[in-house]
Structure 1
Amino acid sequence: MREGDLTYDDFLQRLNIQDVLIDAGYHLNRRDGLRYPSYVRLDSEGRRIRGDKFIVTQQGKCCFQAQQQKVYNIISFIKAHPQFFAEYRAGMSPDRLVNLVCNRLLNHPIEDRTTRIIQPKRDIRPFDIANYDLYKFNPQDRETQKKFYPYFKSRGIDLYTQYAFHRHFCLATKHREDGAAYTNLAFPLTLPKGDGTVVGFEERGRARMDGSGSYKGKAEGSNSSEGLWIASPAQTPLAEAKRIYWFESAYDAMAYYQLNQKWDKELRKGVFVSTGGAPSQQQFKAMIKATPRAYHHLCFDQDRAGQIFAINFALTQAGKTFTSNVTKDDKLLVRISGEENQNYEIKLEPFDFHRIIGTLLRPKEIYREDGTLDYRTIGDGYLQEMSMVCQDEYEIALAEGSASEETLEGMRQNIMAIEDAIRNLPAPGEDSTDLIVYEPAEKGYKDWNEQLLAKIRLQESVHEEPARREEPEQERQARFHR
């Protein structure tokens, strides 16, 4: 964005919805009065087009159509009705149209920009599993298992866990044009709604001799934005899955299973998912759509990035269109766009996932103790305004006697639909976040693999201590016998 350019926030502050409605060809309907101004379209003879009416609400910032029960601000109105504006051209970006219309209404000049065509990179080929030599893990053949030892030993993943996930990893060797070949532990990526076709690999290399870690990444050409490592020891299909476990790496997923499978016998039936790094909203949306009734266990890393991933998942599952980022002073900024168009600034420390999600998603308490709706707590919510305006219109039409019985019946149906919508507003707690379990590693550990390695070291130290205590006693007895 160039210096001096206006932003969406500028448009929302400087313009009101009535400016946009007038520009779109609507006229003030004086018959409805000024308390809730309404705008209508007129036909070629100057008569009102029935059913094409917008009612202004929220102090002139938004409008709605009673029939649709949907609220628009100036930005969403322009995007939803592009054909009403002179700047619109077929195929135009909605954001570009908003900029042109709002800048014109504010008499703010905007420079014409030339279209830039960015050529895609031609040297990156799509992933093709045929380019790899695959070596599978066979639970019945110990010889095939030995080659996997260097990849799992340093991670503390035992043989029984490897047995459980053996269908979901392999060794993949790729031969380069210069004759060199390299092999990595590969976790195949597939699409939740796909046919099982492998669209990439999450790759891990051998542990380095100096203990400095190992290679991690994705195979060249992998579909990183949509592909996921999806594994179930019991081979549970996604359509039947009751629990989904989310991780940033397949190693973490296997570590979680190893730590918990002894006391959770149903864990084998769960579906373990790795995003192979920072998750995308496309990955979230595809899996949520494929498993609408499943509980989602968010087992991302304990660091700040993992915490933000969990928050983003909850917002995505709630159907929000949003952007989020963390400021230098460690505050979370979230902008929820669309009809709500709300901005949030939330302190992240001390981190409390449920508190943050409650701030972003929970509806206000709008019920009295006896369970009835308290209108006073809602203020000028658009459902209430819609109800009052529609009732006024109905009473006027009934008193004048100008409307037909069919029209009156339609108006009564509208009023009943609005009242029904008010009665069925979601009560506190009835939302998609009830299907989320926030489950990072224990405090003090970055991720589940780190927690597993710490547990293994603790067990080894416990076994070594009795051995050290026994040595002096054995030595004393040896001297006595001499």
Structure 2
Amino acid sequence: MTDYKVNFKKLKSRVGVDDIAYALGYRLDRKAGVGRYIELVLGDNGNKRDTIIVSNPNNKSAQAYFRRDGSKGDVVTLIRENLNAFPVSGKDDWQKIAKVLARFANMPEPEYREDSDYVKSVKSDAVFDSARYEVKPINPERIPAIFSQRGFSEETVKALAPFISLIRDKRNEKFDGYNIGFPYTNGKDDAIKGYEIRGHGGYKSKAAGTDSSSSAWVADLSNGNSGMVKSVFFCESAFDAMAFYQMNRTQLGSDVALVSLGGTFSDKQITGVMARFPHARAFDCFDNDLAGRIYGLRMMALLEGVPMKINRKTDVLQIETKGKTFELNTERSLLAQVSKHLSIRYKMGQWLPPKAFKDWNDCLLNRPMEVIHSPHKDEREQNLTGRRKAGLKM
């Protein structure tokens, strides 16, 4: 029997994460923009089963992916996660993976060519081009209606207006109006590295080529005295950060900064922002879901300088760090639980949305998460009586 040999590096140069994802049924989310990253979604709006963010969409050999819950990998990882979806046989997983790669390396693109061609057509937008966008400031006398629709007061919009723009994509032939743009910077200079974009009807996107790896939306309320900033509040979106500010403004003061990561989490976003505010403490204000709790843990690990592997389980998170393994209940304070196992310097704080709400903007709008509860005894008896009466009428 001959040894099974395969050049994985050569095959990976021809088969990208996107090829495997498209074949598994993922489709391009064009609203998320195309630049250094693309978002591929499995399932439709009403039933999104998974979303992966793929880097280097036009360079197969360099492609990798991550999810917002912290999991990540390359094309081999994605194949291995879904090995049962491919009709191949082999003596072990590696041989099966090699066969899948070899098959895709010699396959023409099937029905997802339209998505693939779309990504290639905006290849030039891998770097943010400010000339593509027309940008103007918010007029305090004519505040766009989208802000009030999201629960924001005129006072909030006017206070944060220096960090918000109106933005129009000159290349967008389908929409010639302005959206709301939240400029991304990296703190090294004043250059804008892209925009988080929000519009009517729930529209959200990022400007083409936006740097989401080391830049973020940062609203420094210290009037330029960054050394005086004491607290930095990290949220998943700019609207969440605005809502957090509006609901807690009386407690915040002016020695604070608001930050949006724009739905992604990059180590350089966190460390880059905190480098701007050397005397500040970071606060986890992320969403009340599993991804939000993992974001908080990853930020804690970064700020404490503690390597941490986070594994998802059904209703807990398993942590591996410094030779220890322990589990965390996501319903309880992560800081308190981690402190029982590790010596942490408490560099990070938490200021989470109230438990009934997914995020700060939902809290501002008073839109609690749907809670499924078992009926009380009186309700059960009333329901039973109702069913009996309905049965008698029949």
Q: Give the TM-score category using the shorter length.
A: 0.5 to 0.7
Separation (CA, whole Å) in 1 of partners of 2:307 and 2:335: 20
For the aligned residues, what is the CA RMSD?
2.9
Who is 1:173 aligned against? Answer: 168
Query: Structure 1 residue 318: deviation in Å?
Result: 0.9
Could you say which residue in structure 2 is the equivalent of 1:293? 279
Distance of 2:304 and 2:267 partners within structure 1: 12
1:238 Cα deviation from its structure 2 partner: 3.0
1:1-400 matches, within 5 Å, as 123-125=123-125, 126-139=127-140, 142=141, 145-146=142-143, 148=144, 150-176=145-171, 181-192=176-187, 194-206=188-200, 208=201, 214-262=202-250, 264=251, 266-327=252-313, 329-336=314-321, 340=322, 342-362=323-343
Contact kept? 1:127, 1:200, Cα under 8 Å: yes
The percentage of aligned residue pairs carrying the same residue is 28
How far residue 152 of structure 1 moved from its aligned partner, in angstroms, is: 0.4
Q: Which residue of 2 aligns with 1:76?
A: none
Q: Deviations over 1:35-74 (max 9, x none)?
A: xxxxxxxxxxxxxxxxxxxxxxxxxxxxxxxxxxxxxxxx
Alignment of 1:385-464 (within 5 A): 431-433=344-346, 435-454=347-366
Q: Which amino acid aligns with 1:156?
A: G
1:354–1:177 distance in 2 versus 1, CA, 3 Å: closer
Specify whether residues 344 and 238 from structure 1 end up closer, same or farther in structure 2 by C-alpha distance, changes over 3 A only. Answer: farther
* 1:313 Cα deviation from its structure 2 partner: 0.7
What is the distance in 2 between the residues matched to 1:255 and 1:354? 24
User: What SS does the aligned partner of 1:173 have?
Assistant: strand
Give me the whole-angstrom Cα distance separating, in 1, the residues matched to 2:237 and 2:175: 27
Q: CA distance change for structure 1 residues 311 and 349 in 2, over 3 Å: closer, same or farther?
A: closer
**Structure-2 change in CA distance of 1:348 and 1:189 (3 Å):** same
What are structure 2's unaligned runs of at least 5 residues?
Answer: 5-93, 99-104, 106-118, 368-394
CA distance 1:343–1:221, change in 2 (3 Å): farther
User: What is the CA–CA distance in structure 2 between the aligned matches of 1:451 and 1:442, rounded to whole Å?
Assistant: 7
- Does the 8 Å CA contact 2:235/2:241 hold for their aligned counterparts? yes
1:177/1:299 Cα in 2 relative to 1: closer, same or farther (>3 Å)? closer
| Aligned residue identity for 2:356 | G
Q: How many residue pairs align between the two structures?
A: 253
Task: Look up the SS of the partner of 1:361 in the other structure.
Answer: coil
Task: Check whether the contact 1:330–1:347 (CA below 8 A) recurs between aligned residues.
Answer: no
Q: Please give the TM-score of this superposition, normalised by the length of structure 1.
A: 0.48
Find the aligned partners of 2:134 and 2:204 in 1 and give their Cα distance.
19
AA in 1 matched with 2:286: F
On the 8 A contact 2:222/2:228 being kept in 1, the answer is: no
- Deviations along 1:184-221, one digit per CA (max 9) or x if unpaired, are 210000003x1111101011111x2xxxxx11121111
Q: State the alpha-carbon separation in 1 of the partners of residues 175 and 274 from structure 2.
A: 41
1:300-348 per-position Cα deviation (integer Å, ceiling 9, x unaligned) = 1111211111111111101123332312x23323333xxx4x2524142
Task: Measure the CA separation in 1 of the matches of 2:240 and 2:331.
Answer: 25
In structure 1, list runs of 5 or more residues that go unmatched: 4-109, 209-213, 363-430, 456-482
Q: What letter corresponds to residue 293 of structure 1 in structure 2? A: H
Moved more, 292-301 or 349-358: 349-358
1:181 match: secondary structure: coil
Contact 1:247/1:274, CA 8 A, preserved across alignment: yes
Which structure has the larger Rg? 1
- Distance in 2 separating the partners of 1:226 and 1:291: 15
SS in 1 for 2:365: helix
Asked if structure 2 preserves the Cα contact closer than 8 Å seen for 1:261 and 1:268, the reply is no
Aligned residue for 1:164, secondary structure, equals helix
**1:395-435 deviations in Å (ceiling 9; x for gaps):** xxxxxxxxxxxxxxxxxxxxxxxxxxxxxxxxxxxx432x3
The CA deviation at 1:349 is: 4.6
Instruction: State the 1:241 CA deviation.
Output: 1.2
Q: Secondary structure at the match of 2:178?
A: strand
> In structure 1, what is the equivalent of residue 87 of structure 2?
none
Q: Distance in 2 between matches of 1:281 and 1:160?
A: 33
Provide the C-alpha distance between the structure 1 equivalents of 2:225 and 2:308, rounded to a whole number of angstroms: 31
TM-score, length-scaled by structure 2: 0.58
The residue type paired with residue 131 of structure 2 is: A
